[in-house]
Amino acid sequence: MERILILLLIVFLFFGICPVKAEDTMDLSALLTTQNVKYQDCIKVFNTDNVHLLHLTVASINANHFRTDEIQSRTGYVLFTAVGKQFLASISNVNTNQGMLKITPVDDNYYFQPGIVANIFKYIELNLNNKLETLN
């Protein structure tokens, strides 16, 4: 009985002292606060072709109420303005089943709200399996 109590005490002390690391997620205030954003956080590969990814990117920009300044479907880029700052979303092929989206500020100043890029990526992830349909 004493051994069990000592074992429980040791286990309790071991797990009580060790910090538990929560999942690394950004809270809302971190997404809205202007900060330096890493270049790697502005690039994401999606499991879809570049044409579908271009349409999803334009839809995401519109859904987030950002202003679309220019769309070039042939070269695969979208120029848009969010929170008074201009961004370039460029789409390219990784292979036949994957496309890469890179969202970078036009002035190369990576001091902006990370929620701009995160919201676009999240919208695309949520709508990735939706089929495109032509409206008459």
99: domain CATH number is 3.30.310.80
**pLDDT tens, residue by residue, 84-121:** 999 999 999 999 899 999 999 999 999 999 999 999 99
Predicted TM-score (pTM) above 0.85? no
Q: What is the DSSP string of 86-130?
A: EEEEEEEEEETTEEEEEEEETTS--EE-THHHHHHHHHHHHTTTP
The answer to whether residue 120 sits within a structural domain is: yes
> Quick check: is 16 in a domain?
no
Q: Which residue has the higher pLDDT, 131 or 64?
A: 64
Domain count, the chain: 1
In a domain, 65, yes or no: yes
* 83 lies in some domain: yes
Q: Which helix (H) or strand (E) holds 28?
A: helix 28-32
Q: Are 76 and 91 in contact (CB under 8 A)?
A: yes
pLDDT tens-place string over residues 28-70: 555 567 788 999 999 999 999 999 999 999 999 999 999 999 9
135 within domain boundaries: no
Answer whether 66's CB lies under 8 Å from 60's CB: no
Q: Looking at the domain assignment, is residue 17 inside a domain?
A: no
Residue 114 placed within a domain? yes
Q: Which domain holds residue 104?
A: 26-126
Does 6 reside within a domain? no
